[in-house]
C-alpha cells in the first residue's frame, strides 16, 4: 500500500485548505499517538489557578486557541500566568473576589467555556464593570442559559437580543444563593453557577436533567471548596464564600481529541493505533460505550488515576461496525464526539439513529446541519432530525470539496472521513482544528502507512 498525499495550502484570507489524496488501493493507520491536554480541564486549571491563593502549577496544558483565550482574559483580569507550554505553566493566583476591572473588552475568541464560566466569576465582583465578547461564532451562541440563572442570583448583565447574545456587559454585585434547575445537561451552565456560588454567602445548588462532565466539581474540591454532590438527583451544592488554594494540576489527554483516532482506527481497514494517556472520566466516556455498541475493537490499557482524573491508554484495531441508537443520558457524556461518531456510522452496517442531541445545533457551528451536508456531499446518506441524525451506513464515500464552517471538530471529522473516501478530498477552513488540537494534521501524516 502506498501512503496518502496530504498537503496544506494557505489561502489569501489566511485560511487553510487541506487536501487529502487517498491512494487507489487504500491505506492503513499504525502507531502510537499522544493527544494534547484536555480542553475542559485546561480552562478550569487556568481559571481556578487565577482566583486561588498562592501558585498553581499546570502540567500538560492544551496549547489550543481556546485555552489561550482563557489565559489572556485572566491576565487582563490581573492574574500572572507564565508563558504557555505543555511542560509547566505557573499561575500566580490573586485570591477569590480580587479579579481587577480590565481596561478593555475581554475577548473569549471561539470559546464558549471561557465566556460562560468567566461570566459566573465576574458577576460576583461587586462594584466592578466588565464587558465580554467573542468571535462571530461565539457571538451567535445562546448566553441566556447562563444569564438567566445569574440574574436569579441577582446579577446585573446586559446584552443584545434581550440579554441573550454577546457582547455582554456585567456590573458585578454581591449575589444571593439559589437552587437552579437547569433545563439542559450542560457543564458550562453548571460550572458558571458553581463559580458564581464560590463568592456567595450560603448554599448554591444546580440540578441538571442528566449528568454532564464533572471536571469543575473535581477540581473545585481539590482546590479546597466545600462542595457536595447528590448523584440521585444530579445536583451539586457549593457553600460559599470559599477559600481556594493553588494546586498542582496534571492535565490528561483529551478523550474528545482521542475520539478521532478511535474512529479512524476502527474504520480504516488493517489499522492498529494506541492513543496514550487519555482521560477516561466516566462523565466523558460515552464515545467508548457507543463505539463498543457498534462493535469497535477498543481496549483500555494501563488504567491509572492521575491528579484526581482516571487515565488509560486506548488501543483500537479496525473491525466491521454495525449501526446503533444513541439517545438519552449517554448524549451529554459524548456531546462533542457526535460529529466523529457520525463518520463511524457512515461506515457501519444498518441505520444509526442519534436523538436527544439538539444541543449540537448551538455548538461552534450547527453540527447537525453541517455534518449532514458535508458528509452527504461525499456520498453519505445522512438525514437531519430536529434533535439528531439518521445515518444509513454502507454507501462508499467519494472525495470532494467540503468545508469545516470554522468548526474544529467538523474539520477533523471530515479529515477522518477523507481517509476512507476514494480520490481527493479538499477540506476548506481546516485551520479550525487548532482550536482544540494543534498538531492534528501532523499526527495524521505520521500514522498513515
Question: Rule CB under 6 A: is residue 337 a binding residue for ligand S3P?
Answer: no
Three-state DSSP at 336 gives helix
- Alpha carbon of 103 to those of 49, 72, 76, 128, 135: distances in Å? 22, 13, 8, 11, 19
In 96-150, beta strands by DSSP E: 106-107, 129-133
Cα separation of 148 and 115, whole Å? Answer: 15
> Which stretch in 22-30, 186-194, 271-279, 348-356 sits in contact with ligand S3P by CB under 6 A?
186-194
> Between 229 and 258, how does the x/- string for binding to ligand S3P read (CB under 6 A)?
------------------------------
The least CB distance from residue 359 to ligand S3P, in Å, is: 6
The secondary structure of 360-392, three-state, reads HHHCCCCHHHHHHHHHHHCCCEEEEECCEEEEE
The least CB distance from residue 7 to ligand S3P, in Å, is: 29
DSSP-assigned beta bridge partners for residue 389 = 354, 384
Cα separation of 376 and 361, whole Å? Answer: 18
244, 335, 345, 348: which one contacts ligand S3P (CB under 6 A)? 335
Question: Rule CB under 6 A: is residue 187 a binding residue for ligand S3P?
Answer: yes
**Does residue 212 have a known ligand-binding role?**
no
* Catalytic-role residue among 336, 366, 401, 403: 336
Question: Rule CB under 6 A: is residue 124 a binding residue for ligand S3P?
Answer: no
Q: C-alpha grid cell for residue 260?
A: 478521532
**Are 314 and 296 a contacting pair, CB within 8 Å?**
no
> Which stretch in 184-192, 203-211, 262-270, 285-293 sits in contact with ligand S3P by CB under 6 A?
184-192
Closest by CA position to 142, among listed 166, 109, 106: 166
Question: Rule CB under 6 A: is residue 113 a binding residue for ligand S3P?
Answer: yes
> Which stretch in 17-25, 156-164, 180-188, 221-229 sits in contact with ligand S3P by CB under 6 A?
180-188
Nearer to ligand S3P, 76 or 187 (CB): 187
Cα separation of 291 and 321, whole Å? Answer: 8
336 is catalytic: yes
First to last CA, the chain: 7
359, 384, 387, 401: which one contacts ligand S3P (CB under 6 A)? 359
Question: Rule CB under 6 A: is residue 40 a binding residue for ligand S3P?
Answer: yes
Size of the site for ligand S3P (CB under 6 A): 12
**Does residue 355 have a known ligand-binding role?**
no
The least CB distance from residue 113 to ligand S3P, in Å, is: 4
What are the backbone angles phi and psi of residue 314, rounded to the nearest 5°? -115, 120
The least CB distance from residue 151 to ligand S3P, in Å, is: 19
Nearer to ligand S3P, 120 or 240 (CB): 120
Three-state DSSP at 148 gives helix
Question: Rule CB under 6 A: is residue 334 a binding residue for ligand S3P?
Answer: no
Cα separation of 222 and 246, whole Å? Answer: 9
**Does residue 363 have a known ligand-binding role?**
yes
Q: Which residues contact 217 (CB under 8 A, 6 or more apart)?
A: 194, 227, 229, 236
The least CB distance from residue 210 to ligand S3P, in Å, is: 11
Query: CA quadruple 72, 75, 79, 82: dihedral positive or negative?
Result: positive
Query: Which run of H or E residues covers position 264?
Result: helix 255-267
Question: Rule CB under 6 A: is residue 323 a binding residue for ligand S3P?
Answer: no
DSSP-assigned beta bridge partners for residue 245 = 53
Cα separation of 259 and 333, whole Å? Answer: 13
The least CB distance from residue 229 to ligand S3P, in Å, is: 16
Q: C-alpha grid cell for residue 153?
A: 442570583
188, 257, 281, 426: which one contacts ligand S3P (CB under 6 A)? 188
The least CB distance from residue 187 to ligand S3P, in Å, is: 3
Residue numbers at the binding site for ligand S3P (CB under 6 A)? 40, 43, 113, 186-188, 191, 212-213, 335-336, 359
Annotated binding site: 39-40, 44, 112, 141, 186, 188, 336, 363, 367, 409
Q: Which residues are catalytic?
A: 336
Amino acid at each position: 500500500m502506498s501512503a496518502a498525499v496530504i498537503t496544506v495550502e494557505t489561502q489569501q484570507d489566511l485560511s487553510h485548505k487541506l487536501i487529502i489524496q487517498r491512494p487507489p488501493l487504500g491505506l492503513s493507520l499504525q502507531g502510537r499517538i499522544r493527544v494534547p491536554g484536555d480542553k475542559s480541564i485546561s480552562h478550569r486549571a487556568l481559571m481556578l489557578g487565577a482566583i486561588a491563593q498562592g501558585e498553581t502549577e499546570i502540567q500538560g496544558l492544551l496549547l489550543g486557541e481556546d485555552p489561550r483565550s482563557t489565559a489572556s482574559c485572566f491576565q487582563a483580569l490581573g492574574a500572572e500566568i507564565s508563558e504557555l507550554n505543555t511542560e509547566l505553566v505557573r499561575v500566580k493566583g490573586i485570591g477569590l473576589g480580587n479579579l481587577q476591572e480590565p481596561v478593555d473588552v475581554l475577548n473569549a475568541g471561539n470559546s464558549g467555556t471561557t465566556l460562560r464560566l468567566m461570566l459566573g466569576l465576574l458577576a460576583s465582583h461587586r462594584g466592578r464593570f466588565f464587558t465580554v465578547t467573542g468571535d462571530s461564532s461565539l457571538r451567535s451562541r445562546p448566553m441566556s442559559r447562563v444569564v438567566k440563572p445569574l440574574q436569579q442570583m441577582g446579577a446585573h448583565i446586559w446584552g443584545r437580543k434581550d440579554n441573550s447574545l454577546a457582547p455582554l456587559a456585567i456590573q458585578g454585585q454581591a449575589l444571593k444563593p439559589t437552587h437552579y434547575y437547569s433545563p439542559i445537561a450542560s457543564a458550562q451552565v453548571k460550572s458558571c453557577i458553581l463559580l458564581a456560588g464560590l463568592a456567595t454567602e450560603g448554599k448554591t445548588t444546580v440540578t441538571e436533567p442528566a449528568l454532564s462532565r464533572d471536571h469543575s466539581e473535581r477540581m473545585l474540591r481539590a482546590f479546597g471548596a466545600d462542595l457536595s454532590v447528590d448523584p440521585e438527583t444530579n445536583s451539586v451544592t457549593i457553600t460559599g464564600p470559599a477559600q481556594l488554594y493553588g494546586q498542582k494540576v496534571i492535565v490528561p489527554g483529551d478523550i474528545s481529541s482521542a475520539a478521532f483516532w478511535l474512529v479512524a482506527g476502527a474504520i480504516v481497514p488493517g489499522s492498529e493505533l494506541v492513543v496514550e494517556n487519555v482521560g477516561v472520566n466516566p462523565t466523558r466516556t460515552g464515545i467508548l460505550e457507543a463505539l463498543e455498541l457498534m462493535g469497535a475493537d477498543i481496549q483500555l490499557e494501563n488504567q491509572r488515576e492521575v491528579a484526581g482524573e482516571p487515565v488509560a491508554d486506548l488501543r483500537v484495531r479496525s473491525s466491521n461496525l454495525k449501526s446503533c441508537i444513541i439517545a438519552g443520558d449517554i448524549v451529554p457524556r459524548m456531546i462533542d464526539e457526535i460529529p466523529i461518531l457520525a463518520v463511524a456510522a457512515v461506515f457501519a452496517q444498518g441505520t444509526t439513529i442519534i436523538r436527544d442531541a439538539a444541543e449540537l445545533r448551538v455548538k461552534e457551528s450547527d453540527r447537525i446541519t453541517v455534518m449532514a451536508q458535508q458528509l452527504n456531499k461525499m456520498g453519505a446518506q445522512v438525514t437531519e432530525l430536529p434533535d439528531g441524525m439518521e445515518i444509513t451506513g454502507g454507501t462508499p464515500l467519494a472525495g470532494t470539496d467540503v468545508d469545516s464552517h470554522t468548526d474544529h471538530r467538523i474539520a477533523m471529522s471530515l479529515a477522518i472521513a477523507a481517509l476512507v473516501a476514494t480520490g481527493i478530498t479538499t477540506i476548506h477552513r481546516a485551520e479550525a482544528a487548532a482550536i482544540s488540537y494543534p498538531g492534528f494534521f501532523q499526527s495524521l501524516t505520521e500514522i498513515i502507512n
